[in-house]
Amino acid sequence: MTALKNDRFLRALLREPVDTTPVWMMRQAGRYLPEYRETRAKAGDFLSLCKNTEFACEVTLQPLRRYELDAAILFSDILTVPDALGLGLYFEAGEGPKFHKTVRTEQDVANLPNFNAKSDLDYVMNAVSTIRSALGGQVPLIGFSGSPWTLATYMVEGGSSKDFRFTKQMMYAQPEVLHALLDRLAVAVIDYLNAQIDAGAQAVQIFDSWGGALAHREYIEFSLNYMQKIVAGLQREKDGRKIPVILFTKGGGQWLEPMVATGADAFGLDWTTPLNVARQTVNGRAALQGNLDPATLYGSPDSIAKATKAMLDDAYAHGEKTGYIANLGHGITQWVDPANPKVFIDTVHEYSAKYL
């Protein structure tokens, strides 16, 4: 494989020295970019975009042509795994992802088919290897998956949910059924992420989008324990280089202490946790990533720069020299002016130099 020209993202994840703070954005390939909307229109629909190697590669590279980003992230969706398990993923206009089948009983869990990432999700692996080659060592490529808890909520509810009625009913009334489902998903995610690493992913992130909906004890039991199982099962080195693992629980900043015990290399934060407090909690045991409110990018260039500088001041308040990756606290939204992320990204690179 081609040598990396810019590895500061990987170095920061492993708390190694960097020349400036690395930055990327969750959902950086997305609807806020006119070129993305054009490619999606050519594909016909979102799933076709994900499953077409050429299109998936193209949209992954689009934000790197506009901005000085320090990482690319595979263009795909967290729900590819449940889809491969036979639930029938589709997207309803204005309503988000839905499944033709749900998993709500012990028998439903038992009926889930065996899963092999390399064969069942070969289009994802083709995209990873194609993107990695197209990057030519420009920046590292991030692979990803949803967490078992987050995937389970979609599988049990049949789509997005605000109250997770059926999943929480299962959790409190039939916890053994939910545990059986989560265990199946943890094994599948290990296979899925290891297959992405084999195909060329140089770091992986687990998106625990709905972990923050859990009570504090239930978060440990039904979400974090399964992410810990995944971390323990991942390939952590390839081609003589470590493969860092990032856990991101939206709404999960209060669980940083138990998160550290998982052995992951880094933890993503949403905008509700002060970075200086998070750095103090982690105390050099892992890297942190985040956590600008995505809505900040609706502001003026001056207000975006001001908020970014304040975030960086928090990140380096305790004198650390590395172990921090700038990012948004969640995905960039479709209504952002494409000129505004450049202010965020350039401010990160220019302003952080004084701390390093």
Write the CA distances from 60 to 50, 142, 189, 331, integer angstroms: 10, 11, 22, 15
**Does the active-site annotation cover 31?**
yes
Out of 37, 77, 241, 355, which one is annotated catalytic? 77
29 known ligand binder: yes
Distance CA 223, CA 175 (A): 13
31 known ligand binder: yes
107 known ligand binder: no
**Does the active-site annotation cover 40?**
yes
Cβ(328)–Cβ(286) below 8 Å: no
28 known ligand binder: yes
**Does the active-site annotation cover 172?**
no
Out of 8, 11, 15, 40, which one is annotated catalytic? 40
Out of 154, 219, 226, 351, which one is annotated catalytic? 154
280 known ligand binder: no
Taking every pair of C-alpha atoms in the chain, what is the biggest distance, in angstroms?
Answer: 58
104 known ligand binder: no
154 known ligand binder: yes
**Does the active-site annotation cover 208?**
no
Distance CA 352, CA 350 (A): 6
Amino acid at 220: I
How large is the C-alpha radius of gyration of the chain? 19
Distance CA 74, CA 56 (A): 8
**Does the active-site annotation cover 154?**
yes
Annotated binding site for substrate: 27-31, 77, 154, 209, 330
Catalytic positions, written as ranges: 27, 31, 40, 77, 154
Annotated binding site: 27-31, 77, 154, 209, 330
